[in-house]
Structure 1
Amino acid sequence: MCILVSFSDVATVYQRLGINQHSAGVQLVNFYRWKGTESVIDLGCGNGQLTALISEKTAEKVTGIDRSTKMVKVASSNYPHIHFSCADLEQLHPDAFNKYDVAFMNSVMHWFQKPQETLKKIKYLLNPNGHLLVQTPLKSWCPQLETIIQQVFNCKEFIPFAEAYNNPWFHLTSDQAYQHFFQKFGFNVTKSQVVTTTTHVSGNEQIWDAFMSGPAQAFFAQNNYSCQLPKDYEHHFKKQFSRITEQNQIDQLNYNRLMMSLFL
């Protein structure tokens, strides 16, 4: 995969960039009623902040995995008492890990290229009656950022790239659609809730940071385009992005997310 910006590139600054994802993850941790005896695997653990929070909820083993080597390095450095491992969940052989009581998945599912196959692997990682905790953006994930991105793509110089872009994200439109999806694989829904959170922003850079915290990894990935991206693509994209942001005078970002607690 040829990527102009990747999660490894932002690993050391993700604590600043990923404040919205972290906030949603804290909500997901609190969405579940912990007994204190659960073994947990954090799938797509990033810099390990949420893994560390989870480790405070249980006396059993907590493991974090992420496909970014730099993210795992940051996590291991910050939280040496927790075991972190570099692994791509979609390429994972389930036998490579123990079985767990809880699988935790925050802002990860929408990146799945093969969601059905990956969910089967996650199911294999769980003990009987195991729980899966999921936070994932809805298809309309952030109207303000979506509008800015669309307006960038509407600029004359970006129209060819807009036409060549293939959205890599796995998004469903509603709570009911996700419930149906998980039920097909044998999961039962304990609790499910759509949550809209508002982040107040001041200035173009804060909005750009929100874009760089996740969406940039899709829009700056060469293999999501059927044409060749120029080397200065990110520079020109940011230039138009900042111009549009300033014109629209955006002072808040609204994120639409789904929180789910499921069990086998």
Structure 2
Amino acid sequence: MLRNDVLSALQQYDAADARRALRALANEYPDDVAQVYFGSMVNALEGRSTAPFCRHEAALQACQALSHEVQPAVARAFPGQSGATWLAPLWVELAGRAAALPFRAEHADAHAAPLFLLAARWAEASDAISRIASWRRIPAPLCWMTEARYRLDGLDAAWPFLVELAWLSPSRFDQLLSRLDDACVNRLRRAFDMSFEGAGDLGDLAWFPAWVLTDKTGLAPLFKRAEPSRQNAPERAAKVMLGLLSLERQGRHHELLETRRELQALNGALYAAYMKTR
């Protein structure tokens, strides 16, 4: 019953009542392990603020405290999705306090956008990202926007951004796929990992968009919406694949042979995957 009193106050975000209930629990059961994680949550409520952050370091420190100290405690008190729901207002508060901080690549996690994502506030995250200059050419905000568009509008809307992210930052692309856990993309990723003969590291994922087009030709219209990135070999290969699909539809055999040779020169493994389906 005493534990339930603490939980009830925590669910209401009532710091004063939660502290009183926690003291009552400690007085009756001083060795109760629940005091540890309840205490972290009560401290978090007592420390709530709307004062804007003036420095990136202060925002990072607050984010790390919520992530490393409070979040594990919340997982003990409110298992499953209810824990994320309880934390959401606290992430939103941090996002509001960080709203005036400009994006800095070395302090990316201090920006408001990833904090809005942690609170599942997808539209607010998208708005915050759109105010970052050249966000589509920077790995962190491009990754954030990709997730925001996926959560808001689904996979079709996110595909162009996923393609650009694979070209720009294979490591962030890999991390994002784990977070999204999309069944369709997961199947493609497993097939890619099993069949693509690359270097055997995360850098191979830059070739993923071009590889997908060797089999899933219906995705070509979505992939065409991807904007130019670094013009690296994987990006050029994807553009060549789009060209090949167009030439195939038009029956332009001479140009098709020349373009196939271009693809082979860019990546032999990709060319082999393409020819296997022809």
TM-score when normalising by structure 2 = 0.23
More strand by share: 1
Which structure has more relative contact order (CA 8 Å, sep 6+)? It is 1
TM-score when normalising by structure 1 = 0.24
